[in-house]
Chain A
Amino acid sequence: MEQATVIDKQAKDVTEDIVLDVRNVSKHFPGVQALANVSMQVKRHEIIGLVGENGAGKSTLLKILIGAYQPDDGEIFVRGKPIQIHSVKDATEVGLAMVFQEQSMLPNLTVRENIYLGHEESFSRLGMINWKKMDSEARRQLAKVDLDIDPNTPTYKLTFATRQMVELARVMALEDLTQYEPIVILDEPTTVLEKAEKELLFERVRALKDRASIIFVSHHLDEIFELTDRVYVFKDGKNVAELVTSESNVSQLHRLMVGREIKGEYYRQGKQTKAGADVVLSVEKLNKQKDYKDVSFELHKGEIIGFAGVLGSGREGVCRAIAGVERPDSGVVRINEKPLSLGSTSASIRAGIGYVPQDRGMEGLVLYLSIGPNITLPDMSSVMRYNLLSNKAERELAVHWIERMAIKTPGPNALCLNLSGGNQQKVVLSKWLASKVKVFVLDHPTRGVDVGAKEEVYELIRELAGQGISFLLIADTLEETIGLSNVIYTMKDGEITKRFDAPPENKPMPLDLIEYMM
């Protein structure tokens, strides 16, 4: 009994200092447990770091904190009080706000309007806004981040780095609007910044430390060590470690983030085939400003090349350029030695490249069409009879692919909208196989696909590689990249940092790769 009271008393002392307490929060999405029983505490005037691979659950937690998602389970306490956060408004009312990775300022509004967007009532009387008052208040907020600009400047005229400072000022304005010290979430704030701008940001963040608490998310571990007091490591939706930053080091964080076994034949490694000698696709010095730089590689017949990298590594951009969805600034892509006309999906398709995009509902499929029309979208010639579309031929084609790919559907005429993620993905793959592509660009091919269907996709990739089809792969996890690929390129800040051979008997370890990614 006595002991229990002591613990209770201790707990009370601690809670007074804890401004944000996340307890056992879980969140499930179809096919993936995004967060499992995650707990995290942020103390007053503390900067904590949040690290983890893509898909570790960091973003999900942040979205829960600002009310974009609702947790399935668990509790959140702000300054000791349990709260339900249903919207950004709920979050800001308790002083919780995020500086977004993609900037959330409205460029057409002025700085002061952006700072007080949604809080105009503090300045209005009989429905009229007192601009003078807003002006002087905005100046005070800007001063907190040491920014000396006219609050009446339209935001689009500012550089990205300055806009970010304004965003920070906006969050700090909560101090006055709510009477609480804000809890500031910085989500990958350095992605768009130059080196000097980054230093400036860090300086300001440190200066804000004695009037706010800060959650800092970054893929750059050096930044974590530079800025934070404590760090939480996430992996597979779990919180795997909570460390005092000064007592840790980069390699410990690396180990914690990736330490996962690849089980047996999950990725069908036994069926991995050797790549042929012929170069199918060659990429020379592909460039796009602020995305990727001097990317060159060769893809051989039947080869699977995996790109490993974190957000901002540029790997998505490279793949989208090869698929023709985005136009690079410069560079040459050759297919069977013939140069590819860049920036045109139809040119890429004609050259035999099929793109399986990350956003399946938006770019992969026309959800409001059935399977057959989706399959024939790139090339209708096989179902044209006497220059007219034959519905019979198209239905037969749909039935063929439904059987060949084991697509589970209520019928060939069902809209793709009504298929599960895995079956939708099989339709996307069928579409390109029916168009006889030779190279697949797979951008997160197993995203939103449930576990069983994932294995079917792996099986299929192996089978097609065995038939001489080549793949560029951006996988959901590092393990998937390693498990599936013949060759892996790590990318960091837009450049290829290293090439790894990944034969089935001698796969590189995640830890080997992550060193070149972060």
Chain B
Amino acid sequence: MSVQSALKKLPKSRNLVDYMPIIALVVLMIVMAIGSPRFLMPSNLHGLLTQSSTLLVMGLGETFIILLGSIDLSLAPIAAMATIIAAMLIPSLGYFAYVVAVLFGVFAGLVTGLVHTKARIPSFIATLGAMGLWTGVGFVISKATPITVAAGDIHYTKWVTGNILGINNVIFLATAVLLITFIIEKYTRFGRYVKAIGAGERATSVSGVAIDRYKTLAFVLSGTLAAFSGVLLSARMAGGSARMADGMQMKAIAVVVLGGTAISGGIGGVMRTLVGVLIVIALDTGMTMAGVNPWFQQAVYGGIIILAVALTIDRSRITIIK
């Protein structure tokens, strides 16, 4: 009987948390639309989506890591490295420079994944170390100076900066990544196992799933997508720099938790991250309209991460908070 009554209570409270991101998004949209009629104009929305595409791609990678119950702090530095690699190699390799940049992301993700699983180092520390590593390497190879794509090579960036029927290519590219990651999450063994590991690693392991392999693969995926977001960024900015992805790391985590993916793992998904990105767009615009000091916007995101996690975390699953 007690199970039955608990059952009746449970879905309600869960549903509220489930729908909160969507409700927040709608409320924000309405507030924005009232505050500035310009906000909902197609040209404005188009601009906002273009700007947010790189963040979405990075956030999609982070989603899988957070679904595992882990965290990746090295994504923005990997993206910055990718901008540098792309910008440096375009003169000699052309389009192939972008491939190399993405391959770097595969490599960087593999390294963190292996350090995390084989040396059994918590993801927080493994990726914190990687963050330091790639930031430093980025400054060294770029000699701490921004690299610009020469005017003669600018045509190599058009696949990102061009448009089809007036819609920027970068939006199509980010949408494609969204759909691919959605399929990975919902329809592959990898997607299922990532959620199962996040929800119950011991039981998943006792069921014969090779935990380390799937964890490593998740880091490879997030590293790859971070590098791809760096590629998009590099093409849009027609250059590369160790500082190009500054501020993105916190936002990449913010979009995942704002969407309602639980930091404790197992619950959430990439579509929630899309909602998270849209909320961030609305917040960014809102803060700019309200004249919030741009430097202070970081502080707002810091607070928002904590608030979102406080609302979505399932405390019954965590006995000791470290």
User: Closest residue of chain B to A423, judged by CB?
Assistant: B3
The answer to the question of A244 belonging to the interface, with a C-beta cut-off of 8 Å to chain B, is no
The answer to the question of B203 belonging to the interface, with a C-beta cut-off of 8 Å to chain A, is yes
CB distance from A446 to the nearest CB of B (A): 18
The answer to the question of A420 belonging to the interface, with a C-beta cut-off of 8 Å to chain B, is yes
CB distance from A168 to the nearest CB of B (A): 28
Q: Is the CB of B207 within 8 A of A345?
A: yes
Contact flag A388-B208 (CB < 8 Å), given A366-B196, A367-B199: no
Q: Which residues of B contact A367 (CB under 8 A)?
A: 199-200, 203
- Stretch with Cβ within 8 A of B (4 or more), from A133-141, A210-218, A356-364: A356-364
Q: Which residues of A contact B230 (CB under 8 A)?
A: none
Q: Is the CB of B199 within 8 A of A369?
A: yes
User: Closest residue of chain A to B264, judged by CB?
Assistant: A368
Contact flag A389-B189 (CB < 8 Å), given A345-B206, A377-B207, A420-B3: yes
Q: Is the CB of A373 within 8 A of B206?
A: no
CB distance from B64 to the nearest CB of A (A): 16
Q: Is the CB of B202 within 8 A of A363?
A: yes
What is the 8 Å Cβ interface bit string for chain B, positions 169-188, against chain A (1 contact, 0 not)?
A: 00000000000000100111
Q: Is the CB of A349 within 8 A of B208?
A: yes
What is the 8 Å Cβ interface bit string for chain B, positions 198-220, against chain A (1 contact, 0 not)?
A: 01101111111110000000000
Q: Which residues of B contact A369 (CB under 8 A)?
A: 195-196, 199-200, 266
The answer to the question of B119 belonging to the interface, with a C-beta cut-off of 8 Å to chain A, is no
Q: Which residues of A contact B317 (CB under 8 A)?
A: 368
Q: Which of A354-395 contact B (CB under 8 A)?
A: 355, 357, 362-369, 373, 376-378, 380, 384, 388-389, 391
Q: Which residues of A contact B266 (CB under 8 A)?
A: 366, 368-369
Q: Is the CB of A373 within 8 A of B196?
A: yes
User: Closest residue of chain A to B183, judged by CB?
Assistant: A388
State in angstroms the CA–CA spacing of A418 and B13 once bound together.
14
Q: Which residues of A contact B206 (CB under 8 A)?
A: 323, 325, 345, 355, 357, 363-364
Q: Is the CB of B7 within 8 A of A418?
A: yes
CB distance from B14 to the nearest CB of A (A): 9
State in angstroms the CA–CA spacing of A373 and B197 once bound together.
12
The answer to the question of B41 belonging to the interface, with a C-beta cut-off of 8 Å to chain A, is no
User: Closest residue of chain B to A415, judged by CB?
Assistant: B10
How many residues of chain A have a CB within 8 Å of chain B? 32
CB distance from B2 to the nearest CB of A (A): 8
Contact flag A389-B186 (CB < 8 Å), given A346-B208, A346-B210, A378-B207: yes
Q: Which residues of B contact A362 (CB under 8 A)?
A: 200, 202-203
State in angstroms the CA–CA spacing of A431 and B203 once bound together.
12
The answer to the question of A264 belonging to the interface, with a C-beta cut-off of 8 Å to chain B, is no
What is the 8 Å Cβ interface bit string for chain A, positions 334-362, against chain B (1 contact, 0 not)?
A: 00000000000110111000010100001
How many residues of chain B have a CB within 8 Å of chain A? 27
Q: Is the CB of A388 within 8 A of B187?
A: yes
State in angstroms the CA–CA spacing of A323 and B186 once bound together.
30
Q: Which residues of B contact A365 (CB under 8 A)?
A: 200, 203
Q: Which of A381-429 contact B (CB under 8 A)?
A: 384, 388-389, 391, 410, 414, 418-420
Q: Which residues of A contact B208 (CB under 8 A)?
A: 345-346, 348-350, 377-378
CB distance from A403 to the nearest CB of B (A): 20
User: Closest residue of chain A to B205, judged by CB?
Assistant: A345
Q: Is the CB of B203 within 8 A of A364?
A: yes
Q: Which residues of A contact B183 (CB under 8 A)?
A: 388
Contact flag A373-B192 (CB < 8 Å), given A366-B203, A368-B200: yes
The answer to the question of B6 belonging to the interface, with a C-beta cut-off of 8 Å to chain A, is yes
The answer to the question of B267 belonging to the interface, with a C-beta cut-off of 8 Å to chain A, is yes
Q: Which residues of A contact B199 (CB under 8 A)?
A: 366-369
Q: Is the CB of B200 within 8 A of A380?
A: no
Q: Which residues of B contact A345 (CB under 8 A)?
A: 205-208
Q: Is the CB of B188 within 8 A of A388?
A: yes
State in angstroms the CA–CA spacing of A384 and B189 once bound together.
9
User: Closest residue of chain B to A356, judged by CB?
Assistant: B206
CB distance from A103 to the nearest CB of B (A): 19
State in angstroms the CA–CA spacing of A147 and B66 once bound together.
50
CB distance from B312 to the nearest CB of A (A): 13
Q: Which of A362, A377, A431 has the most CB of B within 10 A?
A: A377
CB distance from A150 to the nearest CB of B (A): 31
Q: Which residues of A contact B196 (CB under 8 A)?
A: 366, 369, 373, 377
State in angstroms the CA–CA spacing of A361 and B134 once bound together.
40
User: Closest residue of chain A to B3, judged by CB?
Assistant: A420
User: Closest residue of chain A to B2, judged by CB?
Assistant: A30
Contact flag A380-B192 (CB < 8 Å), given A357-B206, A364-B203, A364-B206: yes
User: Closest residue of chain A to B267, judged by CB?
Assistant: A368
State in angstroms the CA–CA spacing of A373 and B3 once bound together.
21
Q: Which residues of B contact A388 (CB under 8 A)?
A: 183, 187-188
User: Closest residue of chain B to A348, judged by CB?
Assistant: B208
Query: Which residue of B6, B207, B209 is within 8 Å of A418 (Cβ)?
Result: B6
Q: Which residues of B contact A376 (CB under 8 A)?
A: 192
What is the 8 Å Cβ interface bit string for chain A, positions 256-296, against chain B (1 contact, 0 not)?
A: 00000000000000000000000000000000000000000
CB distance from A302 to the nearest CB of B (A): 24
State in angstroms the CA–CA spacing of A323 and B208 once bound together.
10
User: Closest residue of chain B to A388, judged by CB?
Assistant: B187
State in angstroms the CA–CA spacing of A349 and B196 once bound together.
18
CB distance from A395 to the nearest CB of B (A): 13
State in angstroms the CA–CA spacing of A464 and B272 once bound together.
44
State in angstroms the CA–CA spacing of A345 and B7 once bound together.
33
Q: Which residues of A contact B267 (CB under 8 A)?
A: 368
State in angstroms the CA–CA spacing of A365 and B202 once bound together.
9
State in angstroms the CA–CA spacing of A399 and B267 once bound together.
23
State in angstroms the CA–CA spacing of A325 and B192 once bound together.
22
State in angstroms the CA–CA spacing of A376 and B188 once bound together.
12
State in angstroms the CA–CA spacing of A357 and B189 once bound together.
24
- Enumerate the 3 nearest inter-chain pairs by beta-carbon distance, A residue then B residue, closest first: A366-B200, A368-B199, A346-B208
Would you mind naming 12 contact pairs between A and B with Cβ atoms under 8 Å apart? A357-B206, A364-B203, A366-B196, A366-B199, A368-B200, A368-B267, A373-B195, A377-B196, A380-B192, A389-B186, A389-B187, A389-B189
Known contacts A377-B196, A377-B203, A384-B189; 19 further A-B pairs (Cβ under 8 A): A345-B208, A346-B208, A346-B209, A350-B208, A357-B206, A362-B202, A366-B196, A367-B199, A367-B203, A368-B200, A368-B266, A368-B317, A369-B200, A373-B192, A377-B207, A377-B208, A388-B188, A389-B187, A389-B192
